[in-house]
Structure 1
Amino acid sequence: MVKLILKSVFVLAFGLLIVGFNSPSTSLNLFSIGRSKDANEIFYAINLDNPNKLNTENPINVYWLKRTENNKVEPLSWVQKKFAYGIVYLSKSENHAKFRFAAYDKRVFELKKNQDNEFKVFTISGNKEVEVNRIYIYITGGTFWIPEIPKVELFATVSGTDKKMKETIIP
């Protein structure tokens, strides 16, 4: 009985450690992508070698929070990384990374420190630099390989201000 309890405590503690590291409430998350298709979300989290330096091999970790499956956390599949929600790095260093999404090469994003010396993701919207908070994709049909996406909304904060903004992107 004691052995069973100790084993259960170990499994629970280890599970909480793993889930806690990947939890959407962690300060390591940079932004998320939500979709009209379901409640599941893709999270983009900073990957640091130490508190002030990005992991130069993979500065951003990407993972699913499957709300439809009891908040299960799991990595993207190979297909999702390669053709949809994955990141294509254009440049990367210990304090900076430029990238685009695998599915959309018309917009460049930049991971760098903001005015508060915290790593955040930025892009240009309406000739202004903005800090990305969230992206929402409207999916109205189509197929797995060719979904119908009439619009994408980018929710952000104008750099150096508290001004929130929303940009509607027609892909």
Structure 2
Amino acid sequence: MKFSIILWLLITPLLFSFSTTKSTAEKAPLPDPESFPIPNGIPGLLFYIQRDPNTNTICYELNMNKNGQLEGNDPVHAFWIRYPEGGMRKDLNYIQRKFAYGINVKAVGNEQYELRSVAYSKLPLILRKDAKNNYRVYTDINKKECVLSRVFIRIDGGTFWSPNVLYIELKGTETATGKIVSQRIKPS
């Protein structure tokens, strides 16, 4: 009982300190996602996520062992690029991995893996090799098979544990035509 009270006293201020809700008069215009920096120079980059309220970016790269082979039990490694802090690279913490930006992986055979976001598991992603033998992440965008490159999450207020997500925008390259395709999903 005493531990529960102490834990509550420690966590409660943190929960309220992450609140991003502002009155209508205080709200600044939301930034254009196309103005965010694009990660580059990352070998094995599969896709990345950007979201409000800042340009910090979560990157998902192939997790290779020291022999240059894919780690079959854990094929994807996620990390931050903290652009406001000079582009510093930082691993996700436990809460971020388990509740926000982590990926659940299931081997489906033939060197393919089903990936599901811990925060939005409705969208299946498939990690598999392309015609050039390079791993890519595939998903349907506007009912077309695409190689996923970017996810943008538009957040307008809410709290750390319950952000107000207006939409999730997927962007990728259609496998049949090579055209860039995007789609906005309203989470339910």
Q: Same fold (TM over 0.5)?
A: yes
SS at the partner of 1:103? coil
> What does 1:150-161 align with in structure 2 at a 5 Å threshold?
150-161=166-177
Aligned to 1:7: none
User: Retained in 2: the 8 A contact 1:115–1:160?
Assistant: no
CA distance in 1, matches of 2:180, 2:40: 21
User: Retained in 2: the 8 A contact 1:43–1:65?
Assistant: yes
Gaps of 5+ in 1: 1-22
> What is the CA-CA distance between 1:155 and the residue it aligns to?
0.5
Aligned to 2:56: 40
> What is the CA-CA distance between 1:54 and the residue it aligns to?
2.0
User: Retained in 1: the 8 A contact 2:45–2:60?
Assistant: yes
User: Retained in 1: the 8 A contact 2:141–2:172?
Assistant: no
Distance 1:47 1:92, change over 3 A: farther
Moved over 3 A (4+): none
Is the counterpart of residue 61 in structure 1 residue 77 in structure 2?
A: yes
- Count of aligned positions: 148
Q: Which of 164, 176, 183 lines up with 1:148 in the alignment?
A: 164
CA offsets 1:36-63 (integer angstroms, 9 cap, x no match): 2101000000112445x42112100100
> What is the CA-CA distance between 1:163 and the residue it aligns to?
0.8
Aligned to 1:131: 147
Aligned to 2:180: 164
CA distance in 1, matches of 2:108, 2:72: 6
CA distance in 2, matches of 1:25, 1:58: 22
CA distance in 2, matches of 1:91, 1:40: 30
CA distance in 1, matches of 2:109, 2:72: 5
Aligned to 1:78: 94
Aligned to 1:108: 124
User: Retained in 1: the 8 A contact 2:141–2:181?
Assistant: no
The percent identity for this pair of structures is 32
CA distance in 2, matches of 1:36, 1:143: 12
Kindly provide the amino acid, as one letter, of the partner of residue 180 in structure 2: K
Aligned to 1:90: 106
CA distance in 2, matches of 1:57, 1:39: 30
> What is the CA-CA distance between 1:94 and the residue it aligns to?
7.6
Q: Which has the higher contact order (CA 8 A, sep 6+)?
A: 2
TM-score by length of 2: 0.73
Q: CA RMSD in A?
A: 1.7
